[in-house]
Structures are given as structure tokens and as C-alpha cells.
Amino acid sequence: MQTRSPNRIVFLSVPESLRGELADLKDPDSGDPFVIDPAIPIPVALEPGAANLDIEHLSWEMILSGMIRVVMDNPDDEDAPYYRRFVRAVKPNILIEFSQAAVIKTKNGDYDMALEIADALTGLFPRLAAAAFNRAFILEEQANALEQSGQEAEADAGYDTALHAYQKALALPLSFPPGLFNAGFFYMKRRNYDLSLKCFRAYLNTPPSEEFPEDPFKREQTRRILEEIEKHSLTDADFRDAYDHIRRGEAEQGLKKIRRFLEGHSGVWNGWFVLGWALRKLGRWEDGAAAFRKAVELGGGNSDTRNELAICLMELGDFKGARKELEICLRQEPDNVKIISNLGVLALKSGDDHEAARFFRTALELEPQDPVAREYFNRNPAHI
């Protein structure tokens, strides 16, 4: 008998031919021959477009796909532990195979498929820190891509999703040093230095092992970051609150907080960056530009700071100065779509429509959904 369930899954009674021990399959937990439980139905994923299951074409792939879908969508299903063992018995190398596939998809920018694979792994290995951290990293990379393409609202939502994924990964009992290292950088980028500090310290406190051998470069880099965070008091409540206020669109409240932070930490470039960010959000271009210049002077001359400075300079009509900053940014990050689009905007403001089209074409080659470039060509289709 077949019963239909959501997600195009059909549950079958276990056929006689599959009942009992399967000597060629090993139970992943005990190492003994895997025993198929006839009382637990077998979920089968229907092929795309199929209305019903053709039992003559039933395959292991369809069975495993059905089981994986169940543990992805219903991880607390009473039969989920059995399905996990079943899949791992048939595919003992599935963790390695799926992890490698997710990495390749992420590098190629196919984030939807990478997340589908990552969700399968977290369904199959719900207590495995490596699977949870890898999923969080994919979400972070997806948000990074959205941010670089200028889709700020979507990027912010993506970072929030990645934040929740990192929180879930960090709550798991077993540590995963590469994940702790990545999480430290994630929280640092989000200006949450308290949690960044916690992750980096946990990374340093994890002793090397055969699986995760000593990495002198990463450890030295981590120590330098910890010293920098502590030296500049970046875990200060005013600094953290200022960033959170501005991110939520409360620039005036953020401005008060960051000014109070800078009263005691005037030599910290990060503080001047956040001050400039608040001022830029409020449309105070001249004050914002001055704050960003101070951040650069104090050692914060990264592409984020210079891009923000360029935006202020554009609004002030200093196109030459804005171009200089954006060209420095482009040397630092040649594939940053946000920088390339801003060069296109600058060319438009300067009256050079042909150069603007060139920059926007480049932006669309790197990110077909870039909103600024798409809007330009929607208005000027002859320039495509």
C-alpha cells in the first residue's frame, strides 16, 4: 500500500526481499550487519514530474532521497534515527561526498544547491558541529555575495539567518576548530566583538589533533586579532550598541552611543568608521567624510571605509576624490560588485554615460542581479 506525504514522498511497506540482515551493509554505529526493520515504512522520493511511483523502477537512490528528505524536514520524527543509520549504511562516505559537493557549489556561487546539500547533512548528522558550521558558512557567503552586489536589505536578512545558524552550531557540544575560526571572523565583521572574542579564544584553547593539526599561521593571526580587540576596547557596550542601533535604522541613537565611545577611545579607527556610518545614514556628508578620513588615518583604510568615504564625496560633488577612493577599493577587491557599481554611479554623476555603461556591464557579468546596474540598463536598453 502507498500513502502520500508532503514533499512528494511515498511510504512503502518493506518488501519481503529486504527484510532481515543485509550482510553487505554495515550498521554505522555497531559495525554489525545492518538489520532492516519491517515495522518501519520506507520513504521513497518520487521522480520530478511523477504523479505516482512506478515500483518497477524503484532504486536505492529514490529510497535514500526519501529518507534524507524526511530527516531534513522532520528531524524529530520518531523514525528519523533509523533512517539516518540506513542512509549511512548504504552510503558510508556520504559525509565526505556531500561536504565536498557543498564546497564546490559554494565556490561556484550556487548557494541554493549548496544549502540543500548542507540541510541534508544537518538532517543526517544533527549533532555534528562540522555540518552545522558548514551550513552557517554557506549562509554567510551568500550574504557576502548579496552585500557585494549592492543588495543591502537582502544581505542584512542573510546575515541574520547566518547569525542564527552560527548560534546553533556553537550550541553543539563538540568543538570544530575551523568553524570556531570562521565564526570569530563572522562576528567580527558584524561588529559583535564579544562573541568574536569568545570564538577566537575557544579556537586557541582547542588542542591540535590528528584530524585538526596545528596551524601556526591561523593561531598567530588569531592572537593578533585578540590583542587588537582588547587593546581598542571593542567589546565596549557603547560601541556594540551604536552598531546595533545604526543597523536597525536608528542612526540618531547610534550617533550618541558612538560619540560617547570616542570620548574615551579617540585613537580607535573602528569608532570613527561607525561614527561616519551614522553620519552618512543621516545625510551629513561633510561630517561623515571627515569621520571616514579619520578612520583611514588611524589605520582603517580598508575597502569598506573608503567606499563609504567615496559615497560622501560623491554627494559633496568631489568626483575626483571619490574616484580616487573607489579605485583604491578596486585594487583591494577587484571583484567587489558594489565598488564597480559605485564607479558606474560616479561616471553617471560626472556625465560620462559610456564609462558608466562599461562599469555596469562588468557588474552584471559578476552579479546578474545587481540592482543598480539592472536599473541603469532598464532605463537605457540601447547601452547594453
**How many Cα atoms occupy the beta-carbon half-sphere of 196 within 13 Å?**
23
Residues 242-251: what's their mean pLDDT?
91
Strands 20-26 and 9-12: unpaired
Q: Would you call 371 exposed, middle or buried from its count of C-beta atoms within 10 A (0-12, 13-18, 19+)?
A: middle
pLDDT for residue 299 is more than 60: yes
Residues 295-321: what's their mean pLDDT?
95
Cβ-based neighbour number of residue 220 at 10 Å: 10
- The whole-angstrom separation of Cα 54 and Cα 71 is 23
pLDDT for residue 328 is more than 90: yes
Residue 35 in any domain: the answer is yes
Structural domain of residue 49, as residue ranges? 3-90
Residue 99 in any domain: the answer is no
Residue 36 in any domain: the answer is yes
Q: What is the DSSP letter of 47?
A: P
pLDDT for residue 1 is more than 50: no
Strands 3-5 and 33-36: unpaired
Q: Would you call 27 exposed, middle or buried from its count of C-beta atoms within 10 A (0-12, 13-18, 19+)?
A: middle
- The answer to whether 239 and 261 have CB atoms below 8 angstroms apart is yes
- The answer to whether 95 and 121 have CB atoms below 8 angstroms apart is yes
Residue 365 in any domain: the answer is yes
Dihedrals phi, psi of 138, to nearest 5 degrees: -60, -45
- DSSP per residue, 91-145: -TTHHHHHHHHHHHHHHTT-HHHHHHHHHHHHHH-TT-HHHHHHHHHHHHHHHHH
Q: How much is the pLDDT for 11?
A: 85
Q: How much is the pLDDT for 188?
A: 92
Task: Band the pLDDT of 5: cuts 50, 70, 90.
Answer: very low
Domain boundary among 68, 90, 112: 90
pLDDT per position as a tens digit, 23-40 = 578 888 888 888 888 889
pLDDT for residue 17 is more than 70: no
pLDDT for residue 256 is more than 50: yes
Percent above pLDDT 90 for the chain: 63
User: How far is CA 316 from its chain centroid?
Assistant: 34
pLDDT for residue 6 is more than 70: no
Selected residue with higher pLDDT from 32 and 219: 219
Q: How much is the pLDDT for 4?
A: 36
Residue 30 in any domain: the answer is yes
Q: How much is the pLDDT for 22?
A: 60
- The answer to whether 270 and 239 have CB atoms below 8 angstroms apart is yes
Task: Band the pLDDT of 183: cuts 50, 70, 90.
Answer: very high
pLDDT per position as a tens digit, 132-155 = 999 999 999 999 888 877 778 888
Residue 173 in any domain: the answer is no
Best mean pLDDT range from 3-17, 24-38, 303-317: 303-317
Tell me how far CA of residue 118 lies from CA of 43, 127, 130, 174, 183, in angstroms.
20, 13, 10, 18, 17
Number of domains forming the structure of the chain:
2
pLDDT for residue 20 is more than 60: no
**How many Cα atoms occupy the beta-carbon half-sphere of 84 within 13 Å?**
22
Q: Which grid coordinates belong to 166?
A: 552560527
First to last CA, the chain: 58
Residues 327-331: what's their mean pLDDT?
95
Residues 206-235: what's their mean pLDDT?
90
Instruction: Give me the chain's average pLDDT, please.
Output: 88
Tell me how far CA of residue 221 lies from CA of 85, 201, 216, in angstroms.
40, 12, 8
- The answer to whether 129 and 160 have CB atoms below 8 angstroms apart is no
Residue 81 in any domain: the answer is yes
Residue 32 in any domain: the answer is yes
Domain boundary among 24, 56, 90: 90
Best mean pLDDT range from 5-14, 29-38, 209-218, 270-279: 270-279
- The whole-angstrom separation of Cα 276 and Cα 289 is 7
Q: Would you call 49 exposed, middle or buried from its count of C-beta atoms within 10 A (0-12, 13-18, 19+)?
A: exposed
Percent above pLDDT 70 for the chain: 92
Residues 166-178: what's their mean pLDDT?
91
Residues in the chain: 384
Q: How much is the pLDDT for 24?
A: 73
Domain boundary among 90, 111, 126: 90
Q: How much is the pLDDT for 2?
A: 37
